Amino acid sequence: MYQFNFQPVLQNLDLLLYGAWLTVRLSLLAMLFGLIVSVLGAVAKTSGIRPLRWLVDAYVEVIRNTPFLVQIFFIFFGLPAVGVSMSPNTAALVALVVNVGAYGTEIIRAGIESIPRGQIEAGRALGLNPVQIFRYVVVKPALRNIYPSLTSQFIYLMLTSSVVSVISANDLASAGADLNARTFASFEIYLVLTVLYFLLALGFSTLFAAIRRMFFTYPAGR
Amino acid sequence: MIREFSSADILFIVTAVRWTLILSAIAFVGGALGGLAIALSRSSQNRVLRRIATGFIQVFQGTPLLMQLFLVYFGLAVVGLPIDPLLAAAVALTLHASAYLGEIWRGAIEAVPSGQSEAATALALGYRDRMRHVILPQAMRIATAPTVGFLVQLIKGTSLASIIGFTELTRAGQIVNNATFQPFLVFGTVAALYFVLCWPLSLLARQIEARMRRALMR
């Protein structure tokens, strides 16, 4: 009969909680930079400049059709061979940004294309200036359309970020792996880690829902 | 000893593709059975069943696949089974696929207009006949594109089995890299092989989706 031993986990809970904070920080940074990459990618894709579009298409397809684990190996182990060396933490952030940027590009492109031309013309007919049109007629409705897919992509990113522990970047999964190497209470440690990730996912989705209520409910709360 | 990245290494990596495919196939077939059970429970009248299915989906979609793999891997010892990477990976990926396919198929079942179900009930069809002959055939068409899309996600997901020591494509790459120390070439090759597996499926999913959209617009 298996003897459960939660003692090592409970004694080192502070280490795991610190790891959870690192995962939150890493995810938030990756979301921020990933969003920037996504917007640039989407703009490039809808720009009508052919070579630019092909480049973005190639980026999106390559990233979406290869595993994140292989991407991070390539960035962390492969790139130094061509002179680009990064610390594990930097490589982890870069890999996450590159990864989420590809998915985000597609999401934001769909958002831009979801605004009918007539809506922009209607804005003009109402006498809005170009900045107002861009802000209230294009960006806000587009954001509202893509918000659900964008935020679930971000939560998926947070869960995926656990993979950065394979290159010993600092995060929750790494904190668990270190603890496991010292105490060997493997099942108990990974059970607690899983619960912590679940709580993080729950926290993020609560946060995203609150942001949606604040900014994207019409007509109130503009 | 560091040796050259030779054709034998490439062959080793390419033949490892079969373990990626086998693992994907096991998880997909297992996940299809589990997913159907989840989808039917989730859209059933029974409240307890619905609750269990919802919880299952929430847990597996709200936690990292990597943690699920570790939990099953170390969990085998807890239930007294020998620790085996293939078994652990197959079980974890099957559960993972069950949750995702269950959620996709629930959406497809609920997307079939309720009039269809009501008409079938009016024709005195029982639950089984209603599902088998009326709802599921229509839901299947709706679900095809996202299911193929998930298959891509599943094939990529099998790469994580390398972390618990199962030798599939990614781990074959790691082994070759440790011997040759040509990470750029090795992981480039590994990535290219995944791309060859996944890209056609992605294109297929997109094509089916476009065809469905055109059919709906008519």
- A2 located within any domain: no
Q: Residue A8: what pLDDT?
A: 87
> What is the rounded distance in angstroms from the CA atom of residue A158 to the CA atom of residue A203?
11
* B93 in Cβ contact with B168 (< 8 Å): no
Distance, in Å, from the CA atom of A191 to the CA atom of A196, rounded to the nearest integer, reads 9
Q: What does the pLDDT read at residue B218?
A: 67
Nearest CA distance, B133 vs chain A (angstrom): 33
- Residue B67 touches chain A, beta carbons under 8 Å: yes
Confidence at residue A222, expressed as pLDDT on a 0 to 100 scale: 43
Domain contains B2: no
What is the total count of domains within chain B? 1
The pLDDT of residue B189: 96
- Which residues from B are below 8 Å from A68, CB to CB? 156
Shortest CA gap A67–chain B (Å): 5
The CATH number given to whatever domain includes residue A79 is 1.10.3720.10
Residues in chain A closer than 8 A to B67 (CB atoms): 162, 173, 190, 193-194, 197
| Closest residue by Cα to residue B193 from B168, B165, B163, B164 | B168
Q: B150 near B116, Cβ under 8 Å?
A: no
Query: Per the domain annotation, does B180 fall within a domain?
Result: yes
| A117 against B65, higher pLDDT | B65
CA distances from A131 to A46, A108, A117, A141, A219 (A): 19, 19, 16, 15, 20
User: Exposure of A182 by Cβ count < 10 A (0-12 exposed, 13-18 middle, 19+ buried)?
Assistant: exposed
Query: Is residue A72 domain-resident?
Result: yes
pLDDT tier, B77 (very low <50, low <70, confident <90, very high otherwise): confident
Query: Do A35 and B145 form a contact (C-beta atoms < 8 A)?
Result: no
For residue A136, give Cα distances in angstroms to A39, A147, A209, B179.
17, 16, 21, 58
Which pLDDT does position B127 carry in this prediction? Answer: 92
ipTM for the whole predicted complex goes beyond 0.90: yes
Residue B188 lies in a domain: yes
Inside any domain, residue B1: no
Q: What's the confidence (pLDDT) of residue A135?
A: 83
- Are A63 and A99 a contacting pair, CB within 8 Å? yes
Task: Name the residue in chain B with its Cα closest to that of A63.
Answer: B195
CA distance A128 to A219: 18
Nearest to B152 among A65, A73, A78 (CB): A65
Return the pLDDT at A219. Answer: 60
- Give the C-alpha separation, A93 to A31, whole Å: 10
Answer yes or no: is A138 within a domain.
yes
Q: How would residue A221 be classed by pLDDT, with cut points 50, 70 and 90?
A: very low
On whether residue B159 sits in a domain, the answer given is: yes
**For residue A124, which phi and psi values (nearest 5 degrees)?**
-65, -40
Q: Domain count of chain A?
A: 1
Whether residue A7 lies inside any domain: the answer is: no
Structural domain including B187 reads 7-217
Instruction: Give the residue among B179, B119, B109 at the shortest CA–CA distance from B141.
Output: B109
Q: Is residue B151 part of a domain?
A: yes
Does residue B137 register a pLDDT over 90?
Answer: yes
| Contact flag B159-A70 (C-beta cutoff 8 Å) | yes
Q: Domain residues for A56? A: 15-215
Q: Are residues B31 and B94 in contact, defined by beta-carbon separation less than 8 angstroms?
A: yes
B51 assigned to some structural domain: yes
Instruction: Say whether B173 and A70 touch across the interface (CB within 8 A).
Output: yes
Confirm whether A8 is domain-assigned. Answer: no
Instruction: Say if A220 falls within a structural domain.
Output: no
For A16-35, the three-class secondary structure string (H helix, E strand, C coil) is: HHHHHHHHHHHHHHHHHHHH
Rounded to an integer, the average pLDDT of B180-209 is 96
Instruction: Please compute the mean of the pLDDT values over residues A41-47 and round it to a whole number.
Output: 88
pLDDT, tens digit, 9 for 90 and up, residues A166-183: 999 999 999 999 999 999
In this structure, is the dihedral angle defined by the CA atoms of residues A141, A116, B141 and B113, taken in order, positive or negative?
Answer: positive
Q: Which residue of B has its CA nearest to A3?
A: B78
Mean pLDDT of A75-87: 94
Q: What percent of chain B has pLDDT over 90?
A: 88
Q: Are the beta carbons of B178 and B5 closer than 8 angstroms?
A: no
Q: Note the pLDDT tens digit of each residue in A142-165.
A: 888 899 999 999 999 999 999 999
Residue A48 region by backbone torsions, left for phi larger than 0, else alpha for psi between -120 and 50, else beta = left
Rounded to a whole number of angstroms, the distance from the CA of B168 to the nearest CA of chain A is 12
Q: Is B11 on the interface with A (CB under 8 A)?
A: no
**Residue A33 token pair:** 């930079």
Q: Would residue A136 count as lying in a domain?
A: yes
In the prediction, which pLDDT does A218 show?
67
Contact residues on chain B for A198, CB-CB shorter than 8 A = 59, 62-63
Please determine, for residue A220, whether its predicted confidence score (pLDDT) is greater than 60: no
Q: Does B41 touch chain A (CB under 8 A)?
A: no
CATH number at residue B85: 1.10.3720.10
How is B78-118 classified by DSSP, letter by letter? HTTPPP-HHHHHHHHHHHHHHHHHHHHHHHHHHHS-HHHHH
Q: Which residues, including other chains, have CB under 8 Å from residue B60's CB and lie 6 or more apart?
A: B68, B95, B96, B98, B99, B100
